[in-house]
Structure 1
Amino acid sequence: MASAPVESSSSRNTTFRALWIEAANRCAVREESLQPNQADQVLVRTLYSGISRGTESLVLAGKVPSSEFDRMRGPHMEGSFSFPVKYGYSTVGKVEAGADDLIGKTVFCLHPHQDRFVTTKDMVTLLPEEVPTERGVLAANMETALNIVWDAMIQPGDRVAVFGAGVVGTLVANLSRRVAGTDTVLVDTNTDRRAHTEAMGISFTKAGTLKGEFDVLINASAAGAALSEAIENAGTEARIVEASWYGDKSISIPLGGAFHSKRLQLVSSQVGAVPPARRVRWSFGRRMAKALELLADDSLDHLISGETDFADLAEDYPRILSSQTTLCHRIRY
């Protein structure tokens, strides 16, 4: 397929602005130059990006352990976690130049908060026509949720408890409740989150009040107390999935009591790898395309908790990440 030049002679097409974390809890927007294009690259003008509170708050605070620096690098990240660093992974934009079959199309890309960028054609995924552009910023979270559900091996009829009513936890519960015959409940310490979960048709229970035995229990809360509650409410030979990432924080969990006699399974889930049972058939591209398809659900708009202009992002970013009310915060360009 023939490609149009990624850059034009216009000066507005030779620079871009990007959010950089310059030190712990301190940000700035930098203006930089676009790099010369290659034949397989596209130029994307950003329309929206999404802030993922869990991981991005750890990056902002400088709490990524040095042992994880390489594994936690995003596809288009620049700098290092010891600062300065350009980080983020949920961007929706319009292709302005490059491959003819993509020009003018709206795409999703795992990219930091930046108003224009050049990337290779294989790094962008077309947004389905039935998914509003504004909702596309949930794609990275949906991809993570889909991977968690796969790791959890949820089956029809299972009783499922999901801990953590943030974006990922809510998306996991939303996918779980669609499995035929499942009885799914979302558990959180913050009862204010009952509103968005019940508006999406998901049952909600306050942490510490969960009753009964469950077949599958998923912790997406980044709280050790939730993992302990999951163990307490797990049925014999139940599967417990730890989907949280704790950065440099250590937690303690109760592996005494009935943990061994119940023969409980405790497994981790991380979006950086497709589960082994699917890896032969499912590429990252196929998984992302399916995640975007799953965004064709109007109820998911309840997960957008606010919106900020990119021009104000450097000042607002620490506040957005520190707020307990933040779910997915959308950046408008």
Structure 2
Amino acid sequence: MAWQYWTTAPRSSSWREVPTPNVDAAHPLRIRTTATALSKGTETLVHNGQVPASIAQHMRAPAQLGDFSYPVSYGYLAVGVIDQGPDPWLGQRVFGLLPHHSHHLVTPDEVLPIPDHISDHRALLTGAAETGINILWQHPPRFGDRVTIVGAGMIGATTALLADRMPLERLEIVDVNPARRQLLTEWGITAVTPEAAAADCDIVIHVSGHQAGLARALEIVGDDGVVIEASWYGDNAPAVPLGADFHARRLNIIASQVGQVPPGHRHRRTTAQRKAAGLAALRDDRFDDLITGVSHWTQLPQIMHQATTPGDFADATLCHVFEYP
């Protein structure tokens, strides 16, 4: 038998036992999952029932089963081994934008082979790296720019590791969590409290998911500067401070969402090429520090509840991995 993780109502989820699938003409590859990861930001909104009906179709995961009105089987960070399929693929480790299932039927176009030098756990961060690349493509930093990232969760920290390779005059990460600031500092990246954030930035990337973070981003970006809003709020309606000097300083807020390749790249890069770039970016060993917990797959419902409930566990979670021995 095989297993699938389903959310059946807000904050209610469980595993379902299903027949083990077998390959067919439409899906010639079968993956035996070795690990999946919890993408806390988006999966919190799905788990809590906070996906607005008006954009439910836009927010579907590539291999999602069911709908956000419940029940829904959601997730998009999975790695595994091809155990059914043609010889060139058999035994190949692959990453896919797939939900929390023990087995998957896929086509070759839906997965990426994982290089030998990248572990299963690190390969799960391909989705985060792809999102970070998309953010940096949204309004690309230029040589000598001053860039600040507000929010050091999984996406913010990943974007920081990517931006750290760029020839910037200043890269600064802002977060209220001292443990996350300490991690960035150990990476050699400047991390500060919101109060200590440097001003006059060329670009501020906001990924904290809180309206206070967006307000601080607008305060520290320089005149004519750009705030890239990469947080997704679900059905929340954050207050955006567009009074005071917002217009006088000619500030810009640009939305970034990984569902599409941004203008400026979308005519020359496909989403598959962007995903491949995300996997290739994981050669940096610092990515391993983003794995903040590892559990057996059967513990996913309990861990999901803990990770989506405000408290110490949620604060400490960046990327939680579930293993399928």
- 1-side partners of 2:222 and 2:275: how far apart? 33
One-letter identity of the residue aligned with 2:285: D
Q: Any residues of structure 2 matched to 1:244-263 within 5 Å, and which? A: 244-263=231-250
Q: 1:241 to 1:155 in 2, by over 3 A?
A: same
Shift of 1:330: 0.5
- Consecutive unaligned residues of structure 2, counting only runs of 5 or more, are none
Shift of 1:39: 5.2
Match of 1:128 among 115, 138, 145: 115
Show the counterpart of 1:82. 69
- 1-side partners of 2:205 and 2:302: how far apart? 35
Q: 1:60 to 1:316 in 2, by over 3 A?
A: same
Calculate the TM-score normalised by the size of structure 2: 0.95
Shift of 1:181: 3.2
- 2-side partners of 1:198 and 1:43: how far apart? 42
Over aligned residue pairs, what C-alpha RMSD do you find?
1.3
Shift of 1:214: 0.3
One-letter identity of the residue aligned with 1:99: P
Structure 2 residue 148 is matched with structure 1 residue 161:
yes
One-letter identity of the residue aligned with 1:78: L
Structure 2 residue 95 is matched with structure 1 residue 108:
yes
Match of 1:199 among 186, 192, 203: 186
Partner SS for 2:198: coil
- 1-side partners of 2:110 and 2:140: how far apart? 28
One-letter identity of the residue aligned with 1:225: A
Show the counterpart of 2:316. 325
- 1-side partners of 2:169 and 2:92: how far apart? 38
Show the counterpart of 1:17. 3
Contact 1:39 1:98 in 2 (8 A): no
Structure 2 residue 22 is matched with structure 1 residue 69:
no
Residues 183-202 of structure 1, C-alpha deviations (whole Å, 9 max, x = no match):
11110111221122112221
Structure 1 runs, 4 residues or longer, greater than 6 Å off:
none
- 2-side partners of 1:54 and 1:39: how far apart? 32
Residues 91-141 of structure 1, C-alpha deviations (whole Å, 9 max, x = no match):
011111123322111110000111111111110011122211221111111
- 2-side partners of 1:138 and 1:241: how far apart? 21
- 2-side partners of 1:104 and 1:276: how far apart? 38
Identity in percent: 36
Structure 2 residue 283 is matched with structure 1 residue 283:
no
- 1-side partners of 2:185 and 2:18: how far apart? 44
Contact 1:152 1:218 in 2 (8 A): no
User: Does 37-46 or 159-168 show the bigger shift?
Assistant: 37-46
Shift of 1:174: 1.5
Partner SS for 2:315: coil
Contact 2:23 2:84 in 1 (8 A): no
Residues 38-67 of structure 1, C-alpha deviations (whole Å, 9 max, x = no match):
255210011111101000001000011111
Contact 1:165 1:187 in 2 (8 A): yes
Structure 2 residue 47 is matched with structure 1 residue 56:
no
Calculate the TM-score normalised by the size of structure 1: 0.93
Match of 2:175 among 175, 188, 192: 188
- 2-side partners of 1:152 and 1:184: how far apart? 15
Partner SS for 1:324: helix
One-letter identity of the residue aligned with 1:329: H
Shift of 1:317: 2.0
- 1-side partners of 2:61 and 2:159: how far apart? 22
Show the counterpart of 1:10. none
One-letter identity of the residue aligned with 1:60: H
- 1-side partners of 2:27 and 2:2: how far apart? 20
Shift of 1:27: 1.2
Show the counterpart of 1:96. 83
User: Does 249-258 or 87-96 show the bigger shift?
Assistant: 249-258
Partner SS for 2:137: helix
